Amino acid sequence: MLIDQCIKERRSVRKYTDKEIPSSVLKELVDLSRFSPSWKNTQAVRYHMIKNPEIKKEIADHCVLNFDFNAKTILRCNTLVLVTVVKQVSGYEEDGSYSTSKEDRWEMFDAGIASQTFCLAAHSKGIGSVILGIFDEEKIRQYVPIPTEERVTNLIALGYPLDTGKSAPPRKEVSQLLQIID
């Protein structure tokens, strides 16, 4: 798939078939995502993948801040990815001080880049994905053994799409987004 097509045709997918995503394919997604750029190439992003239906149900029932829309997506998906970053790496100097005035926000930046790479890789393999930002990190820790040195940045629900070819939600025009300074 050409990169332009992959970028334009990727959609957030929230309804999936029952088809299993093989673990070998999940590994391929991480194999591609690990080539994302990162702060000083520190590669602090990690992926915890939940296939277990009981754990997914606990997360859907207790860890979405009462946002039922996300609960339904999590129950429907084949695999739920918890994207994390190892704390105090991205945006930090070796002595533990912040490198810039953006302080620790580079952690979210790295996780965002990696998540987009992951979702594009999924789309190129016919797998639907949606990034989920509405969740309760502390509650998720009650159900999934996330190492204490990692912070959960976002979730990604995955599954083979029930409907394909959805058109994109409206996008702003380039002229609204771009200033070129000659």
Ligand X SMILES: Cc1cc2nc3c(=O)[nH]c(=O)nc-3n(C[C@H](O)[C@H](O)[C@H](O)COP(=O)(O)O)c2cc1C
Binding site for ligand X (CB under 6 A): 11-12, 14, 69-70, 73, 130-134, 168-169
User: Based on CB atoms, which residue is closest to ligand X, 12 or 88?
Assistant: 12
* Closest to 47 in 3D by CA, of 29, 63, 64: 29
Tell me how far, at minimum, the Cβ of 12 lies from ligand X, in Å.
Answer: 3
Please answer whether residues 85 and 150 qualify as being in contact, where contact means their C-beta atoms are separated by less than 8 angstroms. Answer: yes
Tell me how far, at minimum, the Cβ of 157 lies from ligand X, in Å.
Answer: 8
* Closest to 10 in 3D by CA, of 125, 111, 114, 109: 125
Tell me how far, at minimum, the Cβ of 163 lies from ligand X, in Å.
Answer: 12
Tell me the backbone φ, ψ of residue 150, rounded to 5 degrees. Answer: -110, 150
User: Based on CB atoms, which residue is closest to ligand X, 89 or 132?
Assistant: 132
Tell me how far, at minimum, the Cβ of 46 lies from ligand X, in Å.
Answer: 18
User: Based on CB atoms, which residue is closest to ligand X, 35 or 69?
Assistant: 69
Pairing of strands 45-50, 79-86: antiparallel
| Contacting residues for 171 by C-beta, under 8 A, at least 6 apart | none
In the complex, which residue's CB is closest to ligand X?
133
